[in-house]
């Protein structure tokens, strides 16, 4: 059993223990009501205990659902990327004996395009930064250089590392060189 599985088992045991404690509190409140002598303080305590138990169960359930969502979200993208991994393995195997560099380049371009298309379907969009006005919301300045022309002052002169959006949110900032 690896560390992640041990952590998951511990989390589940802890949630189970918390649920049992909440049920015990709820049972105590029910005994107060079942005795037939319902005084207002006991009734309010019963309502409070029930409400607290409901909220506690809601919190635990949403926490479990969030953990499950995080675990399964990466599985979807990984399963979509498996054909690309298979293509890379076939390309490596086929190119061990091949001396044709043009075919090698073409194969890697095809695999790159396949991977890019899969990621675009999942919501990934490349950031077009070249020649744009430097904006800290999208760009990370690596360095400043003298602008080659006056119209490039304060604009992106070179892109060192391309930035990406995922569903219109910045996934990775573009690392750029800015003209001064």
Burial of 74 (0-12, 13-18, 19+ CB in 10 A): exposed
Structure confidence by residue, pLDDT tens digits, 111-162: 999 999 999 998 899 999 999 999 999 999 999 999 888 888 999 999 999 9
Contact call for residues 88 and 39 (beta carbons, < 8 A): no
Please name which of 118, 121, 123, 122 lies closest in space to residue 83, comparing C-alpha atoms. 118
pLDDT tens digit string along 35-88?
A: 556 688 888 998 999 999 999 999 999 999 998 888 777 778 888 889 999 998
CA-based R_g, the chain, Å = 29
| pTM metric for this prediction | 0.58
On whether the CB atoms of residues 157 and 121 are closer than 8 A, the answer is no
């Amino acid at each position: 059993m690896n560390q992640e599985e041990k952590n998951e088992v511990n989390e589940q045991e802890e949630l189970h223990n918390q649920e049992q404690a909440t049920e015990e509190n709820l049972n105590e409140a029910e005994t107060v009501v079942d005795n037939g002598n319902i005084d207002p303080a006991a009734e309010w305590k019963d309502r409070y205990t029930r409400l607290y138990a409901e909220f506690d169960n809601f919190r635990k359930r949403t926490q479990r659902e969030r953990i499950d969502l995080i675990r399964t979200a990466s599985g979807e993208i990984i399963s979509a990327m498996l054909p690309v991994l298979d293509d890379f393995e076939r390309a490596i195997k086929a190119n061990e004996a091949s001396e044709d560099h043009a075919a090698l380049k073409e194969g890697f371009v095809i695999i790159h395009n396949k991977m890019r298309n899969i990621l675009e379907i999942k919501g990934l969009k490349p950031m077009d930064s070249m020649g744009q006005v430097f904006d800290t919301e999208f760009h990370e300045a690596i360095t400043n250089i003298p602008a080659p022309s006056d119209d490039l002052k304060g604009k992106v002169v070179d892109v060192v590392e391309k930035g990406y959006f995922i569903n219109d949110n910045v996934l990775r900032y573009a690392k750029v060189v800015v003209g001064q």
